[in-house]
Each structure stands twice: as structure tokens, then as C-alpha cells.
Amino acid sequence: MKDALTIHRTLLEQETLHEIVRLPLAIAHADELPRALGLPADRCLVTRVYACNDVYRGQRFLAGVIVAAGVRPPTEVVRHAVGARLIRPARADLVNKVTAYAAGLVCPLLLPQGMPLLVDQRVIDGLPSDEVVYTATGEASTALGIRALDLYALSGAKPVELFGPGRLPDRSGAGSASF
């Protein structure tokens, strides 16, 4: 499994400024980062993973979406953005196997090459590019602190307008069914 040390070594090799933060309490899901770090949710990013079926060939694949902690993107918008016919939140065992991160604690870095990754445009627009954001490391006791611009560049995530005008993000637990 990938962990904070794997991420740390990779970022050192790329000479990227970052910090691995020891959390004061263990978390079970990246949505708990704001509480653990005492930060606003928009500075704590979560990578949601979805199981998808391809539009043309019906092949299965995983896709990720980077959003602020507590936010659930509309699956229909994600489905369209990744070109899927069907989409659902991925099962934990599938996330663990394919990403090599603990489900719920997926870091947006070091994901498999063929896995599409999106980022909520509001996250990009909402913070200065030199602002430090925090994300999971695959471990319950650590978080990654990294400049937002570096995270977006290194992740290769495609910015997508997930929430149109007048559409509020879903901060409930709805939409957490398994595939």
C-alpha cells in the first residue's frame, strides 16, 4: 500500500516543497481532515473515486474527483466529464486494489496512469495558487501539506465545472452507495 513515506520520497525526488503532517487524532476518511487539522474545509481536499463503465466498449475503469472536504460532486456531471455510461462510488476493496491507497484516504498523487482525475474548478478558483492545501496520504495518522498549484500540476487533474450557477454542493452523505 502507498503511504506518506512513498509520497514524501516522490515529492523529494521532484524537488517539490511539501510537509507530511502528523495528525493529532486518527481519521477514517479524508472528510475528517478539517476537524483533525482545525482548518476550513476548502483547504482540505478529498479524492472521491468512482467506478465507471465506458460509453463505447462497456469497459470498466476508475475515475477520481478532487473536491473540498465534505463535498460530493454530482455523479451525472462526473459521468459526462469522464465519458462513462454508468458511474457509482467505487467499492472500498476496489479502491484499495487499484489505487494502492486505503479507501477513503486516497491521495490525488501517484494514482494509476490510465485513471482519469478531475478537480472541481471552484477549488482552483477559491484559493490562491500559493496557498497550502491538505490531503490524505493513505494513512489514518498523517496528511500531506502542499501548495495548491503544485498539487494541481503534479496530479494532472483536469479542471471541471462540477457545480453550475445556483447549484450548491452536496455536503451530505448521500450518494455514498457502493458499486
Specify the CATH number for the domain of residue 124: 3.90.960.10
Whether 127 is covered by a domain: the verdict is yes
Distance CA(114)–CA(123), nearest Å, equals 23
What's CA 127's distance to the chain center, in Å? 16
Domain assignment of residue 25, yes or no: yes
Task: State whether residue 141 is helix, strand or coil.
Answer: coil
Helix H or strand E segment including 65: strand 60-68
47 within domain boundaries: yes
Q: What share of the chain is helix, strand, coil (3-state, %, to 5)?
A: 30, 30, 45
Neighbour tally for 7: CB within 10 Å: 24
Angle at 160 between CA 31 and CA 134, to 5 degrees: 30
pLDDT at position 54 is 80
Q: What is the pLDDT of residue 164?
A: 73
Is position 53 within any domain? yes
Assigned domain for 118 exists:
yes
Distance CA 136, CA 58 (A): 31
Does some domain include residue 179? Answer: no
Distance CA 114, CA 151 (A): 18
99, part of any domain? yes
Question: pLDDT below 70 — which residues of the chain?
Answer: 55-58, 165-179
- The set of cell numbers assigned to 12 is 523529494
Phi-psi group of 11: left, alpha or beta (phi > 0 → left; psi -120 to 50 → alpha; rest → beta): alpha
Task: Give the pairing type, strands 158-160 and 117-120.
Answer: parallel
Residue 81 has what pLDDT? Answer: 95
So what's the pLDDT on residue 173?
Answer: 46
pLDDT value of position 73: 95
The number of distinct structural domains making up the chain is 1
Q: Is residue 178 part of a domain?
A: no
Domain housing 136: 4-160
Q: CA-CA distance, 27 to 134, in Å (whole number)?
A: 14
